[in-house]
A = this chain, B = another copy of it.
């Protein structure tokens, strides 16, 4: 650890927020349980897929990386999307609606996701890496509460930029944890305050954002509504090697 990195004080649990993956070098992830957050749509689809019986989900950055799994056997489902369309030759895109028990049960899904994969790769050295979304919010928080450990909420953002939807979710996690004895950094305080503003109508609150507009143009408004459902699932995906599996 170098002296510009944040490391929790001894004896006090830290509850910190990394607002974009570009800020991850400021944190010594080895001191934390890391929660990866990419609400639209990677971590929502991952939570739904693991809940619905996917054996594992492997996040990769590039469509080519994903395609390479085709040769490894029929047990792999390949998910790749560009500009809101399923790439030709792939099984499905990034919509959570594709991750049904019928489709993913017993299968390993290889998922192409730029922002989420980037955040995951940078977090590898953490004590544990788990996946969060509104879908598994309370299950995730209940698990975090009993770990007696430092928590770093990593917002995947969009191309390393800050975004509101991931930050608002970080604020929702803090809302459930803050009554416990955690020390919060300024980003955690801000995320929770933003959540207070948006919590009663998260979809409405997010409508003003750039990303919301971008996703709307892609015609995936139903996905957005789906991803903002709270506590639809209870599974907590956890990173084991290269794969995300059920905790």
Contacts and interface: CB of A to CB of B under 8 A. Distances in A.
Contacts of A70: none
B185 A161 contact: yes
A196 B26 CA distance: 28
A22 interface: yes
Contact of A162 (B25, B161, B163, B186): B186
A23 interface: yes
Interface string A221-238: 000000000000000000
A109 to B, nearest CB: 27
Interface in A17-34: 19-20, 22-23, 25-26
B22 A161 contact: no
A189 interface: yes
B161 A190 contact: no
Contact of A187 (B6, B22, B162, B208): B162
Task: Classify chain A: how many residues form its interface, as a range.
Answer: 20 to 34
Most buried by B among A159, A190, A196: A190
The number of times this chain is found in the oligomer is 2
A211 interface: yes
A57 interface: no
Contacts of A193: 193-194, 197
Contacts of A83: none
Given A194-B194, A197-B197, A6 B161 contact: yes
Contact of A23 (B4, B6, B160, B190): B160
13 contacts: A22-B22, A22-B23, A22-B25, A23-B161, A26-B159, A164-B186, A185-B210, A186-B209, A186-B211, A189-B208, A194-B194, A196-B197, A197-B197
- In the A-B complex, the 9 residue pairs with the smallest Cβ-Cβ separation, listed nearest first, are A162-B187, A164-B186, A163-B186, A186-B209, A4-B159, A193-B197, A162-B186, A186-B210, A26-B160
